Structure 1
């Protein structure tokens, strides 16, 4: 493989397959520790990526709350903002 997909390790995945990976890696911890490419911000562990107008954000909190946002158009920074906002909203609802 070559071209734009190489930064993603040459991998393609459906949102459902990516979600299973996130759960196994960040929630169930079945796959060992995430690589250093995963970002950490307080309790949040997250990762993102984009190719042209398509972007993805995934993040998880220690309590098992997680999201995956996949957009086929729009700004990648907005995808990150949507993911963080959704995680924040879910965490606030869980807190009461």
Structure 2
């Protein structure tokens, strides 16, 4: 079990920019051994990124709805159009950063 977790950590080190420490007890062929876990590590990294993305979009929509309610008393078609444009810009920025 310890070897599996070490290999998963090595795979995460290799596949992400996040600061994950290289295991001190990793053997010389650790990267080659961890390749079997690349799909699992990638799925975990993607799920975490997707969760952060979804929370950010939810928070942005919530802030925009609160701002519209406070300023103009509710949502209108213009507010929905602005929300759509903000979501499109956010998606394009994420695609450009990837």
Larger radius of gyration: 2
Structure having the larger proportion of residues in helix: 2
TM-score by length of 1: 0.31
TM-score by length of 2: 0.30
Structure having the larger proportion of residues in strand: 1
